[in-house]
Amino acid sequence: MHVVLRASSPDEHTLTRIAHGRLPTFGKFKYPVTRRCDHTDNWHGEEVPDPYRWLENPDDEEVQTWVDAQNECTFAYFNANLEPQRRLFCERMTALYSYDKYGCPMQYGDLYFFYKKTGLQNQFVLYKQAGLNEEPTVLLDPNTMSDDGTAALQGHYFTEDGSKLAYTVSMRGSDWYSIHVMDVATGKELPDRIDWCKFSSVAWNKTGTGFFYSKFPPPEGLQGKEGKSAGTEVDAVEGNKVFYHRLGTDAAEDQLVYEAGAENNKWLLSCESSDDYQTLLINIHDSCDPVNRLFYLDMSRFDGASVATLGRLVKLVDKFENKYSYITNEGRTFWFLTNLDAPRYKVIKMTLPPAGSPMEADPASLALVPRVDVVQQDSVAVLEGAYAVANDRLVLLYMRDAYEQLEICDLNGGDRRSIQLPSIGSIEGISAKKTKNEMFFKFVNFQDAGTTYRCEITRKQDGKIEISRDVFKRTVVPGLNPDDFETKQVRFKSTDGTSVPMFIVGSKGQRGAAPCLLYGYGGFNISITPSFSLSRLIFIKNFGGRVCVANIRGGGEYGEDWHDAGVGANKQNVFDDFISGAKYLCTINLTTPAQLAINGGSNGGLLVGACINQQPELFAAAVAQVGVMDMLRFHKFTIGYAWCSDYGNPDDDKNKYKVLRAYSPVHNVAPDAGRYPATLLTTGDHDDRVVPLHSYKYAAMLQSVIGSRKGENNPLLIRIDTRSGHGAGKPTSKVIEESSDIWAFIARHTGAVWRD
């Protein structure tokens, strides 16, 4: 496989346009000219300039010219300054990445299914096999769906008997995907296809003759515009609805099951079938907050043809106050994972009223349905997930101090057992079904690519159960020895005295200051647990570096309280934590400001942007990937409105505006700030999660304000990938290419030297 170390080659038209701009020279940088406009916005009585508002229009020819010129500038710098480190990194990663990668087996009907990526394949392939020891065959290969490897499987949904598969495919990294259906026995794709789905799921009926799903109306920006591909638009997505599709019919005939109405057109809907296929559950979110409404419809009399045979819509939970995630049910008794009076989560059970009873139509009566604790909230650990297995058992996934643990109990929370794990690490995947006595899970850590375990739950004659745990498949990376590395967990004090955990990964026995990469995220209740990254280990092994992961506030490492301490008016805590972690690493002599790089993506890209604005001289290099950079306009684009739960909405009031204005990366680049680190922004032209205009505007501001200063020689660059999105489904070829650029950039500016 040949990996090209540059963006897509510009065509003749692109080169002609670039020729009319200013190309960079090195030493003192001359960046491509970015036109400033005189646009201003009035925010609660304050006039705020937005000189790069024009960069928000992805269809504008001037924006395309700007993108081409920026890429030309960036890759000219890479070619002149990052060799041979970039080539050596690429060769090393290509050689090591060729190991086979596996997911956990899943069983439906009499068949097992699993994902596997062989060598340097761009995407994972779905296989089927008659038994765990039988020869597998390919069921679905997305590598055949596009010439450049950018078609990706986003989800799979089998019927209970495993005879049919509904699967979702995205193109070029976009969040948009289409639903397709396959006959598993023949491998034949059925004519059923549904487009314009996003953040959806598929819920089959019991007989496998149809399924429920949600979708959005096609964006107006794509209607009647030939040549404009899904994923480049920036308009807000609204109007999510739940439909029923009967196999063999045209998608245009699909029947509406539920819509929230115009007043709630930003609600996000998903659906799932209960284990016994007697109930359809509809989950409703209005933001990224861990709260949802939960409605259901009885399917016991559903004929598979007309939604009129479904039961009435029952609004079991009709307020956005807590989170309820379905686990399993026994008849009308349902088990849920919830944060109801439990910021670290617990399991409850609820017995629903009889289907069709008047009580279902009475909100007051539904509110009085008892919520009975089954697994109580732990005093320290966060209950991240619960899964039904072996008919009457629950698998409990806990997180304690940012690493994960497994337990099994019965449906009443009794007979608790721990499943032994080899070390501190994470559970990358769990495959468990209520009707099966076996389960699989994959364990990984920072230095080990992972081991898949098979657990069997057997019941003895006396009624007691036994749980076995055996290695099913161990992932080996030829040429990489996990024992060459070591991981430590430390704690440091933040600005306000809060104790924050951090993982430090390096070579075994490594001492003294060294080039270092500090990674963080800090938002949306997302926990950063140990994970395997080949590129990080190459940086450690071949560049003599260290990688540190700070579990800063805003994440979910310690439950809702930890998350709440980093949102809204508390967002500065996130940046303080990260900056304090950087200073701690320097204080204990693991690195120095001249050797320290920082990195984060998405909300973590915002983290990087805010921190280099606030403490620029603390870092030698910074890489912000697909970051949220304009905090006054983030809620205007695609799904950005859902992030107001973490950030706040600047439209609401002056106080929220002031909080966002105070740290928004685009609005806080000061000409009198200290020396900025070498900075690389990355984005994709098909990123419709965090639209690329965020990175465009921040790059323009950095180059204009900081790059124009006398003696400012550190590069301030943006790398804009084509046919690429927010990150999910990115093909192997692009992963290696981008990783080589990023790590060579980090090495160049932290003083790291390649060693074989």
**CATH domain 44-95+479-750 topology:** Rossmann fold (3.40.50)
Say how far apart CA 707 and CA 671 lie, in whole Å: 10
Known catalytic residue at 110: no
Rounded Cα–Cα distance for residues 648 and 521 (Å) = 18
Using one digit for the tens of pLDDT, what is the confidence trace for 497-508? 999 999 999 999
Average predicted confidence (pLDDT) for the chain = 93
DSSP classification of residue 672: T
User: Is the pLDDT confidence value at 4 over 90?
Assistant: no
Verify whether residue 431 is a known catalytic residue.
no
Q: Please give the distance of CA 545 from its chain centroid, rounded to a whole number.
A: 26
Give the list of residues 6+ apart from residue 670 with CB closer than 8 angstroms, or none.
Answer: 613, 705
DSSP assignments along 109-175, one per residue: TTEEEEEEE-TT-SS-EEEEESSTTSPPEEEE-GGGS-SSS-EEEEEEEE-TTSSEEEEEEEETT-S
Which whole-number Å values give the CA distances from 99 to 114, 117, 212, 474, in the listed order? 17, 9, 38, 12
CA 431-437-442 angle, 5° bins: 30
Residue 475 in contact with residue 449, Cβ under 8 Å? yes
In this predicted structure, the answer to whether residue 5 has a pLDDT above a threshold of 70 is no
Alpha-carbon distances, residue 39 vs 47, 115, 375 (angstroms): 10, 50, 56
Token readout for 416 is 């608790």
Q: Summarize pLDDT for 549-571 with one digit per residue, the tens.
A: 999 999 999 999 999 999 999 99
Residue 2: pLDDT above 80?
no
Return the pLDDT at 1.
Answer: 28
Query: Which tokens go with 539?
Result: 């940086």
Contact partners, residue 44, CB within 8 Å, separation at least 6: 653, 654, 657
pLDDT mean over 109-136 = 96
Distance CA 272, CA 258 (A): 14
The pLDDT score that the predictor gives to residue 612 is 99
Give the pair of three-digit tokens for residue 22.
């200013």
726 belongs to the catalytic site: yes
| Residue closest to 372 by CA, chosen among 412, 314, 322 | 412
Q: Are 312 and 322 in contact (CB under 8 A)?
A: no
Quote the pTM value: 0.94
Amino acid at site 600 = G
Regarding predicted confidence, which is higher, 624 or 710? 624
Nearest by Cα to 408 from 424, 392, 427: 392
Q: Is the pLDDT of residue 3 over 80?
A: no
Q: Pairing mode, if any, of strands 516-519 and 546-550? A: parallel
Give the number of other CB atoms < 10 A from CB of residue 242: 25
If you count them, how many residues does the chain have? Answer: 756
Give which of 301, 197, 307 is closest to 245, Cα–Cα. Answer: 307
pLDDT tens digits for range 156-208:
999 999 999 999 998 877 888 999 999 999 999 999 999 999 888 999 999 99
Residue 724 has pLDDT above 70, yes or no: no
* Arithmetic mean of pLDDT, 642-664: 98
| 108: pLDDT strictly greater than 50 | yes
Q: Please give the pLDDT value at position 229.
A: 61
User: Bigger pLDDT: 730 or 645?
Assistant: 645
pLDDT at 12: 29
pLDDT of residue 147: 85
Q: Which of 275, 685, 687, 741 is flagged as catalytic?
A: 687
| Distance separating alpha carbons of residues 78 and 692, to the nearest angstrom | 21
Write out the two tokens for 260.
Answer: 């929230």
Q: Which residue has the higher pLDDT, 499 or 231?
A: 499
Q: What is the 3-class SS of 430-474, one letter each residue?
A: EEECCCCCEEEEEEECCCCCCEEEEEEEEECCCCCEEEEEEEEEE
Confidence at 151, pLDDT banded by 50, 70, 90: confident
Per-residue three-class SS string for 512-537 = CCCCEEEECCCCCCCCCCCCCCHHHH
Q: What is the pLDDT of residue 428?
A: 95
Q: Which of 201, 209, 164, 158 is nearest to 179 (CA)?
A: 201
- What is the pLDDT, as a whole number, of residue 473? 97
Q: Which of 200, 602, 704, 733 is catalytic?
A: 602
Q: Of 245, 635, 686, 726, which one is the catalytic site residue? A: 726
Residue 731 is predicted with a pLDDT of 84
Q: Which residues pair with 114 in a beta bridge?
A: 127
- Residue 223: the pLDDT is 56
For residue 221, what pLDDT band results from cuts at 50, 70 and 90? low
Domain residue spans of the chain: 44-95+479-750
SS (H, E, C) 380-419: CCEEEEEEEECCCEEEEEEEECCEEEEEEEECCCCCCEEE
- Give the residue from 551, 541, 533, 480 showing the smallest Cα distance to 515: 541
pLDDT at 26: 42
Cα–Cα distance, 509 to 427 (Å, whole number): 27
pLDDT at 8 over 80: no
- Compute the average pLDDT of residues 358-373: 93
Q: What percent of the chain has pLDDT over 90?
A: 85
